[in-house]
Amino acid sequence: MFKVSTYFIKEQIHNVSIRDLITLYKQELEIQSVNNIADNGDTIDFRNKVIKFVLNRYADKFSSFSSGQIKIVDEGNEFGVHFKADWTRMFTSAGLLAGIVTILSFFSIGFKIFCLFVGLGVFALLVIIGFISTSISFPIYFTSLRNKIEQELQEG
């Protein structure tokens, strides 16, 4: 389970409700081409398809996650924004690509144990790269999204 949190200070965004924040986060999920988005009061639940082709080059921020949730909580002087998501889509995508590489290597050099090790190596490499990249870049993106939303609310 991947988790990250941020917050909005209420004094900096006057007359904003949890519903306003939910609407803005939901719009961002739509921009990011997330497949299934549902909001339930103070929570947004989302789900991605295992395989999808997206033409929007900016739509990859949530692509490592199969499903997840953004919950906005009134914490007195601030709104807490809590994100948690399931990594399994990253493993499934890496497994599919590793399977394709394994099958192609079977066709090119024959059925040898080496082909299985190549597939396993590709799987491990893709998972490690995906894990590191998401662990580093997603918290940065989530904080910059919060800053963008705060700026929109202050200007609007």
Check the CA dihedral 30-10-137-119 and report its sign. negative
Beta strands in 64-128 (DSSP E): 67-74, 78-86
What are the 10-residue block averages of pLDDT along the chain, 156 residues in total? Answer: 92 90 93 88 90 59 87 94 90 87 86 86 91 89 93 84
Which pLDDT score is estimated for 22?
Answer: 95
Q: Is the model's pTM score more than 0.85?
A: no
CA distance 37 to 60: 16
Residue 120 CA from chain centroid, whole number = 25
DSSP 10: G
Structure confidence at residue 54 (pLDDT): 53
Please check whether residue 97 is in contact with residue 122, taking contact to mean a CB–CB distance below 8 angstroms: yes
Please count the CA atoms within 13 angstroms of the CA of 24 that sit on its side-chain side: 19
> Tokens for 18?
């949890």
Spell out the domains of the chain, with CATH numbers in brackets: 2-155 (3.30.310)
pLDDT of residue 53: 58
pLDDT of residue 139: 93
C-alpha–C-alpha distance, residues 9 and 78, integer Å: 4
List all residues 6 or more positions away from 83 whose beta carbon is below 8 Å from its beta carbon.
2, 3, 4, 5, 68, 69, 70, 71, 142
Q: Which of 150, 141, 134 is CA-nearest to residue 79?
A: 150
Say what the pLDDT of residue 93 is.
Answer: 83
